[in-house]
Amino acid sequence: MRRFPLLALLLFSLFFSNITARVQAQSLRALKHEIATLCSPTMAGRGYVAKGAERAARHIARRFREMGLQPLAADSSYFQPYTFPVVSFPDSVLVSIKDDDLDPGVDFLVDAASSSYRAHRQRVQRVNVGRYKDSSQWITQKRYFNEHKIYLLEGTDSLCKLLHIRPRQLAAQLPKSCYIIPIKGKMTWTVATHTIPATVLYIQDSVLPKRLRRMNVGIHSEWLPAFKTANVVGMIRGTAVPDSFIALTAHYDHLGRMGWDATFPGASDNASGTATLLQLAQYFAQHPQRYSLLFMAFSGEEAGLLGSTFFVEHPLVPLANIRFLLNIDIMGNAEEGITVVNATSFPKEFALLDTLNKKESQLPQIRSRSQAPISDHFPFSKVNVPAFFIYSNGGQGYYHDVFDKPATLKLTNVDKVMDLVKRFISALQ
């Protein structure tokens, strides 16, 4: 007779495990769907052409509305609008050598601050800038550059070391013309909030012929002095302490598009974090907590943490009432666990997070890291809002390039990260 209670317990355990597995599988499918939506061609890389960032913001606001989150803006919308200057590349980005078009984003990148430039069969002159022994020689050389030639700059690494600057700082020193800087290996694009006189092309040296005499260039950049964008903010009211807040944040913007043909989907950075934010919002909309929960999707992160900075300068809730903030960025694969930035600044909260993880045997590792100004937690940290920035450890290394696509994301253990965040928020006193 004693076997029957044990059998019943075993059957119940199997049933419960099956239900849990189904819920996790459903959550993962929803996460993948959100990432695919945010990386779809209609979003245009969530940047500054084809209304990419605007469409992403509207999608997030629509999801907040479906979940029943409360808007906080004065106009009863989810949007906190603001503007900032940015350089965009809406159409022509052409580089042709010997009548063969190079592949934008794969064979070359345009410096994000570049001016427009157009030339047909323009003469190319090689200049070895690595031979200079002091900065005065470089200053003299710059006087001889003119916009009627294209210059292939050799030895830029040595010149940058001499001048104690980075390649993009070197680009800012160049006078008006077109310049080629050869690149080996991975190329990384960015966003520029200023323009430079030159047009600078970072081209893979493997596609540059030994004798490059003439080439075609057609680069159209557009300066947008007041690009309109918005943070997207919603709230779930707390059951016990509604005037205090736990904030969950992620940036939804990415690099957008470089011309017609090079789109930067930003699947890991940060469609994955935004999708995670939306999944958590959906869960907590059905499971309210003691504290009110803020869900904030920021724009302008890639341009310099601009959206989060704007919120800190124009808060929709008193910053002093934010009990804790969790910023989620790059959540594409937590195969090796997560890293927590600011862990050393808040040892009590980090110990809680680590204990919850070990107790439930969730993630393989939680790494502690000190303060770093590398994501949207930082503007809040500067005004003493307690905050963690969580990112996943794993993935294939695609970052700020055209290869960061949904298909490259494994999303290993991301469901466990979400579960840990849920437990952490519930346990915060």
Q: Which residue in 390, 245, 406, 377 sits closest to 298, CA to CA?
A: 377
> Given the structure tokens 């008006």, which residue do they identify?
176
Q: Is 5 exposed, middle or buried (0-12, 13-18, 19+ CB in 10 A)?
A: exposed
The span from the CA of 429 to the CA of 424, in Å, is: 10
Per-residue confidence (pLDDT) for residue 19, from 0 to 100: 46
**Could you say which DSSP state residue 89 is in?**
B
- What is the full DSSP assignment across 340-354? EETTTT-HHHHHHHH
Peptide bond into 18 cis (omega under 30): no
- In terms of phi and psi (left: phi > 0; alpha: psi -120 to 50; beta: otherwise), the region of 183 is beta
- pLDDT number for residue 5: 66
**Pairing between β-strand 322-328 and β-strand 214-219 as defined by DSSP bridges:** unpaired
CB 402 within 8 A of CB 264: yes
Instruction: Please give the pLDDT value at position 128.
Output: 96
Residue segments in the chain with a per-residue pLDDT below the cut of 70 = 1-24
Helix H or strand E encompassing 153? strand 150-154
Q: Which domains does the chain show, CATH number per domain?
A: 30-87+225-427 (3.40.630.10), 92-219 (3.50.30)
CA nearest neighbour of 218 among 123, 124, 89: 89
| Strands (E) located in 343-422 | 366-369, 387-392
Q: What does the block give as tokens for 142? A: 């710059």
Angle 197-90-98 (CA atoms, 0-180°, nearest 5)? 75
Specify the pLDDT at position 97: 95
Burial classification of residue 21, based on how many CB atoms lie within 10 Å of its CB (0-12 exposed, 13-18 middle, 19 or more buried): exposed
- Provide φ and ψ at 152, rounded to 5°: -95, 110
Q: What is the CA radius of gyration of the chain?
A: 25
**Dihedral, 342, 301, 185, 398 alpha carbons, nearest 10:** 70
Per DSSP, the chain holds a count of helices (H) and strands (E) of 10, 19
pLDDT tens for residues 134-157?
Answer: 999 999 999 999 999 999 999 999
The per-residue pLDDT for 13 is 54
How confident is the prediction for the chain on average, in pLDDT?
94
